[in-house]
Amino acid sequence: MSKEIINLNGIEGLAPRYFGNKPYDVPHPEQVIAGSEGQYADGIVNPMSKLGYLSPANDTVQNVTVTSNPFHGVMSASVVDSINNYFFVGGANHVHKMKSLTGIVFGVTSAEIQTIDYGGPGGVKVTDLEIYTVNGVRRMFYSYRETGGGNIGIYDFSNTYSDGWLSGTCDGGFLTGATNNTRMIVADNGFMYILDGSSLHKLDGTVNGGTNATVTANVLLFPATFQLVDALDLKGMLWISMMRSTRDLDYGESNTAVYNEYCGVYVWDRQSTQATMTDFIPIAGVREIRHIFSFQGVPACFTVSNTRYTQLRVYDGNEFRIVQELGFQAYPRYHDSIHNNGETITWLSNNGIMYVYGSIEPGAKNALYKIGDMTGHITASANFQYAGAIVGVSGTESVTTGYNSTNEAYYLALKDSTATDYAYLMRRWHPYSVNISGSEQHPLAGGFYSMVKQLPKLSFVTGITINFLSESYTSATTDVLDIDIYFNQSSTSWGRTTLKRSDAARGYKYIPIGKSGVNSVQVGLNWKIAGNLQYSINPTFAEINYNIKNKKI
């Protein structure tokens, strides 16, 4: 009798091409055999919840109810005010000030602090939110685009705001581009930089800038055919992501037959007044560069390849190297669709999936995970999803988490066709908690597939043992987990075994097989969505018992 082990804890993340074979992007997880021992072929699960054991993803979200002045569009920008324990979201023609981050119920009400205009589609749209200090006084800045010219407004965190602050109050002020997705970057040298189409402006809010700050236009200017997409202030340099295209990236990835754009990152010393190509890092083979950010202390960015695959790239000192390639529409649509905690990044993708990339434990290698699916809460439109900004917070909510004591929550800007308020909503989601203020959370089925384990040719499999965390649960007759066994890379299950809560106390389940002619084995897992996340069964590995065929063929 021989034995083989299939790792089911998922700790090393998704295998390469988890999304299926190129170029069709059709999922065939049963065909994924390339990858390391600890990876898995596909599935939306949470290997980070209980280290060493596989947990289902949380599929429960709560509405953030707006009692007055509804969201008039998907919220595309966000910023956290950690001093006053508020956060702000902006999109379409509104900026909303959300309630305290430390309250037991985070977002039950919200107060609208600003209505720029009811311009509707093609009119006003908030493009960015930032907190910056002018002459020693903190302000919340909001940039927006508008027919006739964009602008930047300010808010004093209390009752006063000024929509036309940049053009009407700031020294040297002007209007920004009417169709530009203006971005604001607060730098460590005391200035704030403004990305405005192909122009870069500098805002001086220090004491040298005067009472109302001073803005200097076009401190760096690129050809009009370029757009400055995003920027990162890191290590005394401004890393500016840019592309030679005027296509509006705000509307997701278009279906226009664009296969390759001239994209890259310009590294600016914040002093030079002329752009030179010696400071430009080109990125070949891409049609879009979406977002640049700091990942574990080095620049990283999302790009879309000329064949439309999402790519996560990290700067290695010479180039932005691909560290992960994902499926179509897996990029974060907006700059603020990402939450960065230093070791990992979490993002809401344009296709509605919640991804995590990074090191889930100190010293562990970086890996990619799908930990949530919001497609049931988002309505697709044309060629993109209405997925917007996210805000990662931590408050005093009463939660049950199992082995991790955390009340981490995400606010997700989505569009839901079942909702009122113009069908635009913000939802709250706790990825690691199983009970929120007495309300049970429910698992996502997940569709987990292990890696394919190869056996000696035409082996006889006697049985498979699934090992999992030993727990004692109430309501022991409730179904919890379905286990599917796949042989010889078939997409059809050989047989399904359903585990109940009572099985969790044993810590393992032996599945008799008795099948000959087996060349490979794969395990599939699906959690019962009607159950409670708190009573999930958490596998760790499968043990295959088999005999080797000794007859020559």
Q: Which CATH number fits the domain that encloses residue 19?
A: 2.60.120
Q: Is residue 523 part of a domain?
A: yes
For the chain, the residue count is 553
DSSP category for residue 198: T
**Spatial CB neighbours of 316, under 8 Å, sequence gap ≥ 6:** none
**pLDDT value at residue 103:** 36
Specify the pairing of strand 77-81 against strand 86-91.
antiparallel
Is residue 275 within 8 A of residue 264, CB to CB? The reply is: no
Residues 200, 217: Cα–Cα separation, whole Å: 7
pTM (global) more than 0.85: yes
Q: Give the dihedral sign, CA 152/156/158/159.
A: negative
Please give the structure tokens belonging to residue 45.
Answer: 């699960």
Q: Is residue 427 part of a domain?
A: no
Helix (H, G, I), strand (E, B) or coil at 301: strand
Helix (H, G, I), strand (E, B) or coil at 377: helix
Which of 469, 452, 481 is CA-nearest to residue 544?
A: 452
Range of the domain at 538: 2-58+445-547
Measured CA distances, 516 to 31, 364, 543, 544 (Å): 21, 39, 17, 13
Q: Is residue 43 part of a domain?
A: yes
Residues 407, 353: Cα–Cα separation, whole Å: 21
Is residue 315 within 8 A of residue 298, CB to CB? The reply is: yes
Please give the structure tokens belonging to residue 91.
Answer: 């999109």
Residues 208, 474: Cα–Cα separation, whole Å: 67
Please give the structure tokens belonging to residue 532.
Answer: 């409670």
Taking the CA of residue 378 as centre, how many other CA atoms within 13 Å lie in the half-sphere pointing to its CB?
Answer: 23
Please give the structure tokens belonging to residue 171.
Answer: 């020294």
Measured CA distances, 332 to 63, 89, 290 (Å): 22, 16, 8
Which of 410, 433, 426, 413 is CA-nearest to residue 356?
A: 410
Residues 245, 291: Cα–Cα separation, whole Å: 15
Query: Could you tell me how far CA 371 lies from the centroid of its own chain?
Result: 10
Is residue 283 within 8 A of residue 299, CB to CB? The reply is: no
Which of 367, 454, 377 is CA-nearest to residue 414?
A: 377
Q: Is residue 33 part of a domain?
A: yes
- Mean pLDDT per block of 10 residues along the chain (553 residues) reads 93 92 72 84 93 93 68 84 84 75 37 52 81 95 91 87 92 95 96 97 96 96 93 96 87 61 93 79 93 95 92 96 94 94 92 93 90 80 68 67 59 72 72 83 93 94 95 85 95 94 93 96 94 91 91 54
How many domains does one find in the chain?
A: 1
Omega into 27 within 30° of 0, i.e. cis?
no
- Residue 478 one-letter amino acid: T
Query: Could you tell me how far CA 5 lies from the centroid of its own chain?
Result: 32
- Residue 46 one-letter amino acid: N
Please give the structure tokens belonging to residue 513.
Answer: 């097989």
What strand order describes the sheet that includes 367-373? 338-340, 344-348, 353-358, 367-373
Which of 475, 459, 449 is CA-nearest to residue 542?
A: 449
Q: Which residues are paired to 266 by β-bridges?
A: 240, 280
Q: Is residue 42 part of a domain?
A: yes
Which of 297, 271, 300, 258 is CA-nearest to residue 283?
A: 300
Q: Report CA dihedral (425, 431, 435, 437) to the nearest 10 degrees.
A: -50
Residues 506, 516: Cα–Cα separation, whole Å: 29
**pLDDT value at residue 440:** 86
Specify the pairing of strand 380-381 against strand 399-400.
unpaired
**pLDDT value at residue 33:** 76
Q: Which residues are paired to 299 by β-bridges?
A: 294
Which of 492, 481, 480 is CA-nearest to residue 522?
A: 492
- Nearest 5°: the CA angle 173, 178, 180 is 95
Note the maximum CA span of the chain.
90
Q: Is residue 505 part of a domain?
A: yes
- Residue 94 one-letter amino acid: H
Q: Give the dihedral sign, CA 48/51/55/59.
A: negative
Q: Which residues are paired to 385 by β-bridges?
A: 380
Q: Is residue 203 part of a domain?
A: no
Q: Is residue 23 part of a domain?
A: yes
Residues 273, 226: Cα–Cα separation, whole Å: 17
Give the containing element (helix H, strand E) for 75.
none
φ, ψ of residue 6 to 5 degrees: the values are -110, 120
